[in-house]
Amino acid sequence: MAKSFAQQIISWYKNHMRELPWRLTEDPYKIWLSEIILQQTRVAQGLPYYEKFIAKYPTVHDLAVAPQDEVLRMWQGLGYYSRARNLHSCAQSVVEDYDGHFPETYEELQKLKGVGKYTAAAIASFAFKKKVPVVDGNVFRVLSRFLVIDKDIADPKNFKLFFEASKELISEDQPDLYNQALMELGATLCSVSKPACLLCPVAEECQARIEGKQTELPIKLKKVKVRKRYFYYLLIEQNEKLLMGKRGPNDIWQGLFDFPLIESKNVLSTPELEKELSSIFPKQKHFKYELSNSVKHILTHQIIEAFFISIDMKKAQIKINGYSWYDEGEVEELPKPRLVDKYLKENFY
DNA sequence: GATTCGTGGGG
DNA sequence: TCCCCAAGAAT
């Protein structure tokens, strides 16, 4: 009897797998941590963060008792910061509600903060050898090609179709290796633009390749709308200290620190800017300020054009709600958005 | 259920 | 320069 799809990709995987640290362990904590870090993130970008976290927090207990600002600072630069907040909260839940042990089933795992269908399937199969298929961007791509599934992968109602398709193909005794092989195939050979079909272990049976449709699949319809925002950051320094504050909910960078901010839907003229400034500092009649060149910062749904305004306030009493003074050492330790961190590194430290 | 959450790299 | 998108989840 011919080798099954699962058998073929698993034997290919065994010969080509990259020996990443989270693949050389069965510790659910390490597997969970790696999966959270790798959500919407490439291995090359996430790997140093994984090493850093494991060194700082060897066990889920170490992570649970850490201060949240420290965890956010550790996460700085990786993006999607709700992952860090949920990571921390999840660690505390595992310690308090599960006696320090991760739950083992697909359903129970999804009750944890930051753990959805993909991550639950990954932990259940990698750590506990459960027969649950993972469905991520790679799986959508590989299966849509292998089976010629021309349904929109951006539409959540089509998730089940791929989940069930993979469930039909998953290995009975090596579900973990099957899932990893499927993702690795998508991450390496079965790439978005130029799939390396000549190297593919299942090219012979790939329906898209047979029909010459590799690059037409998968179908993804949704396009993101991008919003433009203009940030005028106020750099206010007194006695070697800088005024900074923690960002609140319902916007980007929740929990991270930045400077007092004037936001606008469009570029401000000099009079407009000065009017804004004087409304923030009503008591100051005249003060000097210096406006930086604009810095573009691109997010998934927003393009931010930022200006940094250094303000000379002399010895005036300055108080802005929600902001406090931090010296250089303290500023260094605060979790900050990339945009802010870069500016500080280039102009202050 | 459509939207919103970062950042960096590749084509 | 622009577009895509990468081991998704929460709201």
- Reading phi first (left if > 0) and then psi (alpha if -120 to 50, else beta), residue A100 is in left
Question: According to the model, what pLDDT value does residue A287 have?
Answer: 76
From the CA of A224, how many Å to the C1' of C2? 14
For A271, other C-beta atoms within 10 Å of its C-beta total 8
Catalytic, out of A19, A26, A35, A172: A35
Question: According to the model, what pLDDT value does residue A281 have?
Answer: 86
Question: According to the model, what pLDDT value does residue A282 have?
Answer: 81
For A256, other C-beta atoms within 10 Å of its C-beta total 22
Give CA A44 to chain center in angstroms.
13
Catalytic residue flag (residue A35): yes
CA A54 → CA A37, A314, A345, distances in Å? 12, 45, 26
The domain locations on chain A are: 5-216, 227-347
pLDDT in tens for each of the 349 residues of chain A? 678 999 999 999 999 999 999 998 999 999 999 999 999 999 999 999 999 999 999 999 999 999 999 999 999 999 999 999 999 999 999 999 999 999 999 999 999 999 999 999 999 999 999 999 999 999 999 999 999 999 999 999 999 999 999 999 999 999 999 999 999 999 999 999 999 999 999 999 999 999 999 999 999 988 788 999 999 999 999 999 999 999 999 999 999 999 999 999 999 999 999 999 999 888 776 778 999 999 999 999 999 999 999 998 777 788 899 999 999 999 999 999 999 999 999 998 7
Question: According to the model, what pLDDT value does residue A277 have?
Answer: 93
Question: Rounded to an integer, what distance in angstroms lies between the CA atom of residue A334 and that of residue A245?
Answer: 10
Nucleic strand B interface residues, CB < 7 Å: A 40-42, 44-45, 77-82, 155-157, 193-194, 222, 224-225, 250-254, 297-302, 337-339
Residue A298 tokens read as: 């691109």
Question: According to the model, what pLDDT value does residue A1 have?
Answer: 67
From the Cβ of A258, is strand C under 7 Å away? no
The residue length of chain A stands at: 349
Q: What is the 3-state secondary structure (H, E, C) of chain A?
A: CCCCHHHHHHHHHHHHCCCCHHHCCCCHHHHHHHHHHCCCCCHHHHHHHHHHHHHHCCCHHHHHCCCHHHHHHHHCCCCCCHHHHHHHHHHHHHHHHCCCCCCCCHHHHCCCCCCCHHHHHHHHHHHHCCCCCCCCHHHHHHHHHHCCCCCECCCHHHHHHHHHHHHHHCCCCCHHHHHHHHHHHHHCCCCCCCCCHHHCCCHHHCHHHHHCCHHHCCECCCCCCCEEEEEEEEEEEECCEEEEEECCCCCCCCCCEECCEEEECCCCCHHHHHHHHHHHCCCCCCCEEEECCCEEEECCCEEEEEEEEEEECCCCCCCCCCEEEEEHHHHHHCCCCHHHHHHHHHHCC
- Reading phi first (left if > 0) and then psi (alpha if -120 to 50, else beta), residue A3 is in beta
| Residue closest to B4 C1′ by Cα | A301
Burial class of A206 by CB neighbour count within 10 A (0 to 12, 13 to 18, 19+) = buried
A5-216 — its CATH code?
A: 1.10.340.30
Question: According to the model, what pLDDT value does residue A54 have?
Answer: 98
From the Cβ of A294, is strand C under 7 Å away? no
Q: Domain A227-347 adopts which CATH fold? A: Nucleoside Triphosphate Pyrophosphohydrolase (3.90.79)
> Which chain B nucleotides are covered by protein, judged by CB under 7 A?
1-9, 11
